[in-house]
Amino acid sequence: MPKFKQFILLEMPQHFHSGDDIAVNDPKANYAITQSYKQTHINIDTIQFQNDEIDVYYDGNKSGGDYAFISGDKTLAEYSYGAHDSGFIQTDTIWQDKAYRGIFRFIFVTYLLPKYKTIISDHRLTQLGFNFWVKLFNDYNSKFQFGIFNMDSNETIKIDSGEEFKKYYSELEEMKKWRFYVML
């Protein structure tokens, strides 16, 4: 479970709603989450998105980590991942403030991908996550290499169109072995 959800469940249970929907866009909840990140994570960098200066907070080790992207007293995006021995990272959670549309794609391609070189999707890929990967492909397919990776056999398949993603996306358990990837 991502740290922002853990924090709300422990410290602000009134912001938990049915169906695992947590009101992270609620200003009080977001402020509390931001203060928690500032206490538990290290400020490692600053990036610019549109007119906002965003502080990058990080907490992690060689097996994975958690990033928070904060402007002032507001968390704008969060990313957690697991690291693999072969050098790539696997997405665990992506969250972005709905008021900052496109911020996470920007962070993904300008900050995370240059740092880690290869990023793969998570095994719990939701429809929103699938949409993120298709949009990422549509926006950046001429700049980066995209494909599908089989976690069981290490087979890789290069993707040449956004439509090809649909063949490998399903919430069925037998399809969970397939991950989308993007490489520099």
| 34-61 confidence digits (pLDDT tens) | 888 999 999 999 999 998 899 999 999 9
pTM exceeds cut of 0.95: no
Give the tens place of pLDDT for each residue, 89-118: 999 888 888 888 889 999 999 999 999 999
CATH number of the domain at 102, please.
3.40.630
For residue 20, name the pLDDT band (cuts at 50, 70, 90): very low
Q: Give the chain's mean pLDDT.
A: 84
Among residues 117, 144, 173, the one where a domain terminates is 117
**Domain count across the chain:** 2
| Per-residue confidence band for 21, with pLDDT thresholds at 50, 70 and 90 | very low
Q: Assess whether pLDDT exceeds 60 at residue 146.
A: yes
* Rounded Cα distance, 133 and 128, in Å: 9
Last residue of a domain, one of 90, 117, 144: 117
Domain end point (choices 117, 132, 163): 117
- 83 Cβ partners below 8 Å, 6+ apart? 62, 63, 64, 65, 89, 90
Residue 6 belongs to domain spanning: 1-117
Share of the chain above pLDDT 70, in %: 83
C-alpha–C-alpha distance, residues 31 and 86, integer Å: 37
- pLDDT of residue 15 exceeding 50: no
